[in-house]
Amino acid sequence: MTYVYDATDIVMGRLASKIASQLLKSHQSGNKDKVIIINVENAIISGKKERIINDFKAKYELNHPRKGPFYPRMPDRIFKRSIRGMLPYQKKASGRAALKAIRCEIGCPSHLSGESLPENHISGDISEIKKDLPERFMRLGEISIAMGAPGHRWKKEKGEA
């Protein structure tokens, strides 16, 4: 079974922990569930903008250009990296299998847009993690642009809505 989650206006950490625990339980029980997260550039991180950008830039600049550790700039890679931090991917086979079963998408692919999902796809339940927007937050796409990622890939043009 493939679960589809829409990350628009959802706190990234809450959604990442839900997905990580769901996939770990699934792979430990023998099911081979997969997860697709769409619109990851619209996921939010709560806090002051200056602190968020400074934290992410510090993680990105911590590395050595050739030796690592490497921290991503693109929103889909940042989201997958945050899920990876919640999985035992180095110690357990179930953690590695769960990490391989995650796909993060910038925007919404054409086969997942619309009212009905393809066969064997289910919309993920986010009712317990869906909360009102916090007072201070930043979207993952804005953070990526501040880190130097090419924002033209997901940012709407000024003429569009």
- At residue 138, the pLDDT reads 93
Is residue 129 included in any domain, yes or no? yes
CATH number of 59's domain: 3.90.1180.10
- At residue 21, the pLDDT reads 94
C-alpha dist (Å) from residue 56 to 9, 72, 104, 137, 147: 19, 10, 19, 14, 8
Residue 82 CA to residue 85 CA, distance in Å, equals: 5
Is residue 144 included in any domain, yes or no? yes
Q: What 3-state class would DSSP assign to 83?
A: helix
- At residue 28, the pLDDT reads 86
Q: Indicate the number of domains in the chain.
A: 1
Is residue 91 included in any domain, yes or no? yes
Q: Structure pTM?
A: 0.89
- Average pLDDT for runs of 10 along the chain of length 161: 92 94 90 92 94 90 82 92 93 91 90 80 88 91 90 65 45
Beta bridge partners of 144: none
Is residue 161 included in any domain, yes or no? no
Q: What 3-state class would DSSP assign to 107?
A: coil
Is residue 160 included in any domain, yes or no? no
- At residue 156, the pLDDT reads 67
